[in-house]
């Protein structure tokens, strides 16, 4: 855990502070406290197969390989193993598809840093019709099985407000396209941002306070989807599925439904195949 956090939080794309300011804080304070806290959070969502993110990513790659039988499909991680840097050496001509629908410097930008400017990289797919349809199919399936709440909360990973305009615009774009696909009225959905880190102002509205406010407004049931995550992971299962659920119920809400991420849904694998082969 410490090694992963050190690699992740040392990336200047992730924490955009001068290195002489940030690195002493990282190694002197953050890496002494955060690994234990993160380990406890991961323990709450760990499966028999391991990290949910790693499990779903492996399964997606395997399903995609079946769909694209004439192409070699491999998955890699920007931080940790299997290493993206190793994949670059092994497959120098490969097309890279970052599984981040919305572009940001801290995600896709960081992948570009590793792969180099000459690599074929899909920059974003936040408005791809197949991706939007896969999201809509996931929501419809959940509603068919478990009913429908009064409000659909679309929670995206947050970023500092400064420099986050492009990313925010793409998040709102995804939300609007999904709401239109589901034929939702304006008051039936809302876009929020989660995972704030540090003391700077981040993109708003923040997810947790929004859920508390909805509960206080006597909204008894909410459905939450995280369109920016194609695989369930710590940020969806623990931050939203456990912490945000607790906040909502504590504030007076009755039913909290976390809609699963795309994971290995057939609609998503079909969409991913299109995204990989287009262009």
* Rg, C-alpha atoms of the chain: 19
Cis bond before residue 264 (omega within 30° of 0): no
Residue 26 pLDDT: 62
- pTM for the model stands at 0.94
Question: What is the phi-psi region of residue 225: left when phi exceeds 0, alpha when psi lies from -120 to 50, beta otherwise?
Answer: beta
The predicted model gives 172-181 an average pLDDT of 98
* Tens-place pLDDT, residues 185-228: 999 999 999 999 877 899 999 999 999 999 999 999 999 999 99
- For residue 121, report the phi and psi dihedrals to the nearest 5 degrees: -135, 135
What burial class does residue 42 get, using C-beta atoms within 10 Å of its C-beta: 0-12 exposed, 13-18 middle, 19+ buried?
middle
Confidence of residue 10 (pLDDT cuts 50, 70, 90): confident
Higher-confidence residue: 20 or 142? Answer: 142
> What percent of the chain is predicted at pLDDT more than 70?
95
Closest CA relative to residue 214, chosen from 243, 253, 172, 265: 253
* Tens-place pLDDT, residues 127-172: 999 999 999 999 999 999 999 999 999 999 999 999 999 999 999 9
Helix-then-strand count for the chain, H and E: 11, 6
CB 120 within 8 A of CB 135: no
* Tens-place pLDDT, residues 87-108: 999 999 999 999 999 999 999 9
CB 246 within 8 A of CB 205: no
Asked if the model's pLDDT at residue 19 lies above 90, the reply is no
Rounded to an integer, what distance in angstroms lies between the CA atom of residue 153 and that of residue 138? 14
Q: From residue 155, how far is each of 29, 61, 106, 129 by CA, in Å?
A: 29, 25, 18, 20
Non-local (6+) Cβ contacts of 102 within 8 A are: 124, 126, 156, 167, 170, 171, 174, 228
The predicted model gives 57-62 an average pLDDT of 98
Question: For 68-182, where are the alpha helices, taking DSSP H only?
Answer: 84-90, 108-115, 129-146, 165-181
Rounded to an integer, what distance in angstroms lies between the CA atom of residue 121 and that of residue 200? 30
The predicted model gives 240-265 an average pLDDT of 98
Rounded to an integer, what distance in angstroms lies between the CA atom of residue 215 and that of residue 221? 8
Longest dimension (CA), the chain: 55
Asked if the model's pLDDT at residue 184 lies above 80, the reply is yes
Which helix (H) or strand (E) segment holds residue 127: the answer is none
Q: From residue 67, how far is each of 70, 71, 72, 98, 274 by CA, in Å?
A: 9, 9, 11, 18, 10
Residue 222 pLDDT: 98
């Amino acid at each position: 855990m410490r090694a992963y956090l050190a690699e992740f939080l040392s990336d200047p794309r992730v924490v955009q502070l001068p290195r002489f300011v940030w690195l002493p804080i990282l190694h002197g304070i953050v890496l002494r406290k955060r690994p234990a806290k993160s380990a406890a959070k991961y323990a709450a969502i760990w499966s028999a197969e391991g990290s949910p993110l790693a499990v779903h990513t492996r399964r997606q790659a395997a399903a995609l390989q079946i769909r694209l039988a004439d192409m070699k499909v491999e998955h890699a991680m920007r931080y940790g193993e299997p290493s993206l840097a190793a994949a670059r050496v092994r497959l120098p001509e490969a097309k890279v598809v970052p599984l981040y629908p919305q572009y940001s410097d801290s995600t896709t930008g960081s992948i570009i840093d590793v792969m180099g400017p000459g690599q074929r990289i899909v920059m974003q797919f936040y408005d791809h019709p197949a991706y939007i349809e896969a999201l809509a199919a996931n929501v419809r399936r959940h509603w068919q099985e478990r009913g429908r709440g009064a409000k659909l909360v679309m929670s995206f990973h947050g970023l500092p407000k400064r420099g986050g305009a492009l990313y925010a615009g793409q998040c709102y774009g995804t939300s609007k396209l999904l709401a239109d696909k589901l034929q939702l009225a304006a008051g039936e959905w809302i876009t929020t941002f989660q995972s704030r880190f540090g003391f700077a102002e981040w993109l708003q509205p923040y997810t947790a306070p929004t859920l508390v406010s909805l509960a206080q407004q006597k909204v008894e049931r909410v459905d939450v989807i995280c369109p920016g995550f194609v695989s369930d992971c710590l940020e969806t299962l623990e931050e939203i599925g456990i912490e945000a659920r607790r906040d909502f119920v504590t504030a007076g809400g009755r039913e909290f439904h976390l809609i699963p991420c795309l994971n290995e849904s057939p609609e998503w694998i079909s969409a991913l195949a299109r995204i990989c082969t287009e262009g």
